[in-house]
Chain A
Amino acid sequence: MATETDTHSEGGLVFHPLDQFIPKSLFGDGPIAWYSITNVTLWLAIAVACVFLLMVMGTSGRKIIPSRLQSVAELIYGFIYKMVEDVCGKEGIKYFPYIMTLFLFILFANYLALIPMSYSPTSMIAVTAILGFGVFIAVTVLGFVLNGASFLGMFWMKDAPAVLRPIIAVIEVISYFVRPVSHSIRLAGNVMAGHAVIKVFAGFAALTLVSPVAILGITAIYGLEVLVAGIQAYVFTILTCVYLKDALHPHH
C-alpha cells in the first residue's frame, strides 16, 4: 500500500500504469457484481464480434477462389490445423475446435487491447488463469481417461538411471503442476508488462524535455507489442498442443 501515498505526493509526474486495467461498470456506478456489464464485457463482446466477422461473415461466400477475408480465415484455420496435427498427431484433430477457440480468443483479445483506450482482458490474471487452469484440468482429466493409471508413467523416466528416477519424478511432478501457473502468467504478464510500459512512457511524455524520446519509446514499444500479441497467442496455443500431446501419448 506504499504507492497510495507515493503516487499522490509526486505532483507533476504521475504514474498510474495499472489504472488502465480497472474494470468499470458501463451502466450505473454500483459495485461490480458477477453479472454486471463492464468494459471487460464490452471488449470481450467485440472480440466475439470480430471472430464472427472473420470466421463466419468472411467465409460466407464459400468461394473456391477466396476473397481477402476468406483467405485470412482459411490461413488461420490451416495454420492451427497443421499445428495440432504436427504436435499432437492424428488423435489430436478431435480437439482442434477447442484449440482454435483458444487461439482466436487470445489473438483477438490481444490485438483489440492494442487499440488506444481499449481494455485488455488477457492482461487479467483471473482471465488467463481460467484459460491456463482450464487447459491443465482438461489435459489431466483427458490423460487419466485415455490412459488410466499409466498416465502417471509420464513422471517415471524409464531410461534414466535407477537412482535418479525418484528425484526426476519429483521434479517432473513439480514442473507438471507449475505448467498452468507459467502458462497463464506468461500471457497475462506479457500483455500487462507491455501496456504498463507504454503507460510509463506516456507518463514521461508529460515532461517537455523528454517527451520526444518518450513518444519514440511509445512507438517502439507499441511495435514490439504488436509482435508480442501475436506471438503470445501462438505460444499459448502451441503449449496447449504440447500439453495435449502429453495426455494423448504420455510415453512419448
Chain B
Amino acid sequence: MEGELAHIGAGLAAIGSGAAAIGVGTVAGNYLAGALRNPAAAASQTATLFIGLAFAEALGIFAFLVALLLMFAV
C-alpha cells in the first residue's frame, strides 16, 4: 500500500516539471520579445538568459528528483 502511495506521490511531483516548463517558457519568451525590440542589446544578455533558464529549470529538476526519490528510494 505504501508503495502505491509513493507512486502516486511521484506522479504528483512530476507535475512540477510542467511548472518548470512554464517558467522556462516565460524566461525564453520574454527574452525573445526583448531581443526583437532591441536586437543590439540581445547579445549582451544571453548569459542572463541562461542563468534565468537554469534557475527556472533547477526547480523542475527538484520536482523530478522528488519523483525519483519516491519511486526508487522510499
Contacts and interface: CB of A to CB of B under 8 A. Distances in A.
Does B associate with A?
Answer: yes
B51 A242 contact: yes
A249 interface: no
B61 A3 contact: no
Contacts of A3: 3, 71-72
Contact of A86 (B2, B47, B53, B55): B47
Contacts of B7: 2
A232 B57 CA distance: 11
Interface residues of A, number: 21
Interface residues of B, number: 21
A38 B59 CA distance: 32
Contact of B65 (A2, A185, A231, A242): A185
Given A2-B3, A2-B6, A239-B54, A189 B61 contact: yes
A129 interface: no
Nearest to A196: B68
Contacts of B31: none
A189 B62 CA distance: 8
A182 to B, nearest CB: 5
B72 A186 contact: no
B3 A186 contact: no
B61 A239 contact: no
Interface in A231-252: 231, 234-235, 238-239, 242
A6 interface: yes
Contacts of A18: 68, 72
A235 B54 contact: yes
Contacts of B6: 2
A86 to B, nearest CB: 7
Interface string A212-233: 0000000000000000000100
Contact of A190 (B50, B61, B74): B61
B65 A189 contact: yes
A238 B47 contact: yes
Contacts of B50: 231, 234-235, 238
Contacts of B58: 182, 185-186, 189
Contacts of A83: 47
A169 interface: no
A224 B47 CA distance: 20
A185 B2 contact: no
A184 to B, nearest CB: 10
Interface string A9-21: 0000000001000
Interface in B24-74: 47, 50-51, 53-55, 57-58, 61-62, 64-65, 68, 71-72, 74
A32 B7 CA distance: 31
Contacts of A192: 68
A235 B48 CA distance: 10
Nearest to B70: A2
Nearest to B7: A2
A6 B64 contact: no
